[in-house]
Amino acid sequence: MNDTTLQNHIDQALAGDQEARDALLDHASDRLLRLTRKMFHGYPSLRRWEQTDDIFQNSMVRLHRALANVRVESVRHFFNLATVQIRRELLDLAKHYYGPEGQGANHHTDQIPSDESGGTIHDRAGRPCDPLGWFDFHAAVERLPEDEQEIVNLLFYEGLTHDEAAKVIGTSSRTLKRRWSAVKMKLHEVLNRDG
């Protein structure tokens, strides 16, 4: 769904069109489903223990409830609202599974070569491979300043291209790319400092 279509849906939803509102919820549901699958993809013990769809449907109910009655004013506003709810659900899911009864006792992240020692170090900003890693990631995003959070919302959670995200925010694609790189640096710092 491009931002023009989204804006049309938002305009129609504001005018009371239920189908347009449903379409917005569909968009958010789709992102939540894909992010849920990404979170639990490659985590065999959890996929065995739970089906992603089973998990998804429960989160979806709450997402629907959270978004059903809000007044969305713009595409940018919608993305911010939806992403906050989506991240909240993903945080809850991740948190739920890394506890004592969860499957996240062994926390692995990607390993990268160290430029100093030539050996390997654990980098907490690598791709999360278990619920605790995902929880740390989503929580780190929550701790970013709002303007930086918005970049992650649009590019990671909403999956927009650089050009689309730049248009939503009202900046140039070049500036957006620079800010995205800076945000990734910041996330790396937050995850390795606080994680």
Partner 1 sequence: MTDRDEELLADLIQKWEELRAMGQDTPAAELCPEHPHLVRELDRRINILKVTSWLDEPLPPADDDDPPAEVPPQEPRTLAGRYRLDTVVAEGGFAQVWQGYDLELQRVVAVKVPKPSRLLSADAFMAEARRVARIKHPGVVQVFDVGRDGDHCFIVSEFVEGGSLGDHLVNNPPAPQQTIRWIAEIADALEHAHLHGVVHRDIKPANILIDSHNRALLGDFGIAQSANRAGKQALSLGTLRYMAPEQLEGKDLDPRSDVFSLGVVLHEALTGKVPYSSLQPNVLRREIVTGVKQVVSPTMSDDIKRICEKALQRDPAKRQISAAQFASELRAALATDTAPTSTNGRRHWWWVGALVLLSGMAAAIAFPRAKKVESSPAAMQQTPGVFSFAGNYIETPVDRFSPVTLEAWIYPTSLPPSGCFVIGSDIRGHNGIGLALYGQQLAYEYLTGFEASDSMVPLKEWTHVAAVFGDAETRLYQNGTLVYTGPATQPDGGTPFVVGRIGATNPDLVFVGQMRCVRISKGERYKADFTPTDSFTPDDSTVLLYDAKHVDGDRVLDLSSSGNDGIWR
Chain contacts with partner 1 (rule: CB under 8 A): 18-19, 22, 25-26, 29-31, 33-35, 37-38, 41, 44-45, 47-51, 53-58, 60-62, 64-65, 68, 92, 95-97, 99, 101-103, 110, 112, 115, 123, 125-127, 152, 155-156, 159, 174, 177-178, 181-182, 184-185, 187-188
Q: Any bridge partners for residue 122, and if so which?
A: 111
CB of 119 to partner 1, least distance (A): 14
| Cβ closest to partner 1, residue 64 vs residue 74 | 64
CB of 80 to partner 1, least distance (A): 18
Other CB atoms closer than 10 Å to residue 125's CB: what's the count? Answer: 21
**What does the H/E/C string look like for 76-142?**
HHHHHHHHHHHHHHHHHHHHHHHCCCCCCCCCCCCEEECCCCCCEEECCCCCCCCHHHHHHHHHHHH
CB-count exposure of residue 173 (10 Å: 0-12, 13-18, 19+)? middle
Q: Quick one: how many helices (H) and strands (E) in the chain? A: 9, 2
| Cβ closest to partner 1, residue 70 vs residue 182 | 182
**CB-based contact 123:192 (threshold 8 Å):** yes
| Cβ closest to partner 1, residue 74 vs residue 91 | 91
| Cβ closest to partner 1, residue 74 vs residue 162 | 162
| Cβ closest to partner 1, residue 28 vs residue 169 | 28
**CB-based contact 35:157 (threshold 8 Å):** yes
| Cβ closest to partner 1, residue 74 vs residue 102 | 102
Q: What DSSP state is assigned to residue 161? A: -
